[in-house]
């Protein structure tokens, strides 16, 4: 399905830094509970992310790309506020989309 550029621009993707990684034993599929910093304009948001091919240490402090303007979604007892983006690889699982250099948190992806 094709969309036009105006529809694409409605998706607000931003650079965020993972500040906390917590276990999520209540999740039906293995997942981490993440706390992400998107800078002063957006603030701190939380996400449930099925990126368990990454360890806590690999995730802490790293930059990722996330959609910040989807409505919050209840995942079991946890409210997920943003969608962390990744490529879905059949062999590797989710491969995170991340800036290849240090980028300012909150930077818009376009």
pTM assigned to the model:
0.92
Phi–psi pair at 39, nearest 5 degrees: 85, 180
User: Using one digit for the tens of pLDDT, what is the confidence trace for 22-70?
Assistant: 999 898 888 999 999 999 999 999 999 999 899 999 999 999 999 999 9
CATH class of 5-94: mainly beta
Residues 6+ apart with CB under 8 A from 78: 24, 26, 27, 33, 46, 48
Q: Domain boundaries in the chain?
A: 5-94
């Amino acid at each position: 399905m094709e969309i036009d550029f105006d529809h694409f621009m409605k998706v607000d993707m931003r650079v965020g830094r993972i500040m906390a990684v917590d276990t999520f034993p209540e999740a039906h599929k293995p997942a981490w509970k993440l706390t992400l910093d998107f800078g002063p304009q957006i603030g701190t948001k939380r996400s449930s992310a099925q990126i368990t091919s990454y360890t806590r240490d690999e995730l802490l402090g790293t930059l990722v790309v996330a959609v910040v303007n989807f409505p919050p979604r209840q995942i079991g007892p946890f409210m997920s506020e943003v969608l962390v983006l990744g490529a879905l690889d059949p062999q590797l699982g989710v491969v995170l989309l991340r800036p290849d250099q240090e980028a300012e948190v909150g930077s818009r992806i376009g």
